[in-house]
Structures are given as C-alpha cells and as structure tokens.
C-alpha cells in the first residue's frame, strides 16, 4: 500500500468492496471470501462480562439463574462475604487441536456479578449447579426470617 497516495488507494479499496457481495457483510467477509491472509480478530482480551440473571422466588426459596457460557464448574467462584454474593468465572475459547482461528467473536474474559444479600436469605445453605452454561443458585430463606415483634418497655 502506498502511503503517499492514501486517497487513491482507499477509493480502489472501496470499489473492490462494493463489487464483492461478501464484503458488505462486515467483519465476517474474511471467512466468507476465503482470504488466505486472514488473521484472527480479537476483541479486548480479559474483558469483564456481566452475565444476565433471572431471580425467581417461590415459597421459602429463591433461585438465581446466570448465563455463563464457556465457564466450567472448576473455574466458577461463588462467595458470600458481608452480605454481598459474588459470582465470577474466567473463560477462554481456545481453538480445537489442529485448528487455527480464522475469525473469532467469542471473547475471553471474566464473568462477574454481585448481588446484595438479604437478611432473609440463609447464606449457609446455598446450592450451586452448572449445566449447559447456566449457573443455578438455590438459596433458601432463613427459618427465622419472618417478622419479629419487638417489645417496648416504659422508661
């Protein structure tokens, strides 16, 4: 590419793209056009990702679902400290053995989400399971979480 004439070369590049239907599809044109010099496109490595969550309540139990695709159970960290429930997991997307990445949209990074934990919930009995990229936390309510009557004494 000639740096002395940027306008001329950019016009040539534009005309090549407009005549190539695969070029109009954005970044995926590398894989679609079979370019031999395609290099992997990586987004910000180590990004912090916020997993979407659903919180459901039934009777004396709350259930939290978090989408953490790519995470495995050994890499998940669920902690409860000072009434803050923290979920974190590092994910990487290595190419299968013998393959080289041609185009990558999945990002390596860390899932992280925090929730303020209610006094009504029993943090000592949280059950966590991971299946098909979905973390399920079952959190029972404390047995003594009901309303308490406080006696008032005359002074």
Cβ neighbours of residue 7 under 8 Å, at least 6 residues apart?
none
Q: How many domains does the chain have?
A: 2
Residue 135: is it exposed, middle or buried by C-beta count within 10 angstroms (0-12/13-18/19+)? buried
Q: What is the CATH number for 102?
A: 2.60.40.790
Indicate whether 146 belongs to any domain. no
CA geometry: angle 90, 95, 100, nearest 5 deg:
140
**Complete edge-to-edge strand list for the sheet that includes strand 109-116:** 47-49, 109-116, 84-91, 76-81
Same domain, 97 and 128: yes
Instruction: Verify that 128 and 102 share a domain, yes or no.
Output: yes
pLDDT tens figures, 59-72: 999 999 999 998 98
Give this prediction's pTM.
Answer: 0.60
User: Does residue 154 form part of some domain?
Assistant: no
**124 and 81 share a domain?**
yes
pLDDT digits (tens, 9 = 90+) for 91-145: 887 778 999 888 888 778 899 999 998 888 888 899 999 999 999 999 998 877 5
**Residue 56 lies inside a defined structural domain of this protein:** yes
């Amino acid at each position: 590419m000639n740096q002395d004439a940027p306008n001329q070369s950019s016009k040539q590049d534009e005309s090549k793209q407009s005549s190539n239907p695969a070029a109009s599809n954005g970044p995926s044109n590398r894989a679609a056009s079979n370019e031999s010099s395609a290099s992997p496109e990586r987004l910000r490595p180590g990004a912090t990702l916020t997993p979407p969550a659903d919180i459901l309540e039934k009777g004396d139990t709350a259930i939290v679902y978090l989408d953490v695709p790519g995470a495995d159970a050994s890499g998940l960290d669920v902690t409860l400290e000072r009434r803050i429930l923290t979920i974190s997991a590092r994910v990487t997307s290595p190419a299968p053995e013998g393959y080289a990445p041609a185009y990558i949209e999945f990002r390596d990074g860390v899932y992280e989400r925090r929730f303020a934990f209610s006094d009504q919930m029993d943090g000592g009995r949280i059950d966590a399971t991971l299946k098909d990229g979905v973390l399920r936390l079952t959190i029972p309510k404390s047995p003594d979480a009901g309303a308490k009557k406080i006696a008032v004494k005359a002074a």
